[in-house]
Amino acid sequence: MNSILVLNGPNLNLLGTREPGLYGTLTLGEIESMSISRGRELGLHVECRQSNHEGQLIDWIHDASGRFDAIVLNAGGYTHTSVALMDAISAVGLPTVELHLTDIFAREEFRRTSYIGRVACNTICGHGAKGYVMAIDALARRYGTGQQPETKHEGT
């Protein structure tokens, strides 16, 4: 594995100011920097993108085939509604980690349904921003980078 595409869906561009008690105080830019740094530590190229548009996310998933080895996807609200994103992930066949800052299974009933989780190789939720590092580490362990990830985070 050499490269990971980190995709963020709708409203994640508002991190840091959007309900900080629920989603934390780090901005998306800070989370992206943290993800890229973790990738570098593991000898991986990590590229981050965000869109509020479902079609753009689908296009990026399609384009990832042949360019990236894996995807980390925080689809935001599309997690619970988008069969199209689920189909795109399935179609490209890249290992995909579903990611959520909050524990979607402990929130409102409608958030407990995940179309993304049906085709993802792993789901990480409820760990806040460190979930991004956990996702990169999980992919590195599962698919190999030639380097062992350092454990920098403990617990939940």
Identify the burial level of 134 via C-beta atoms within 10 angstroms of its C-beta, where 0-12 means exposed, 13-18 middle and 19 or more buried: buried
Residue that wins the pLDDT comparison between 1 and 76:
76
3-state secondary structure of 29: helix
Active site residue 132: no
Nearest-angstrom CA–CA distance, 101 and 149: 21
Nearest-angstrom CA–CA distance, 121 and 139: 9
| Structure confidence by residue, pLDDT tens digits, 25-82 | 999 999 999 999 999 999 999 999 999 999 999 999 999 999 999 999 999 999 999 9
Q: State the pLDDT at residue 146.
A: 45
Q: State the pLDDT at residue 147.
A: 52
| Structure confidence by residue, pLDDT tens digits, 99-130 | 999 998 787 787 788 999 999 999 999 999 99
SS3 content of the chain, % helix, strand, coil (to 5): 45, 20, 35
Q: Catalytic residue among 45, 62, 100, 115, which?
A: 100
Which is nearest to 123 in space by CA: 64, 79, 65? 79
Q: How is residue 40 written in tokens?
A: 């570098």
Active site residue 23: yes
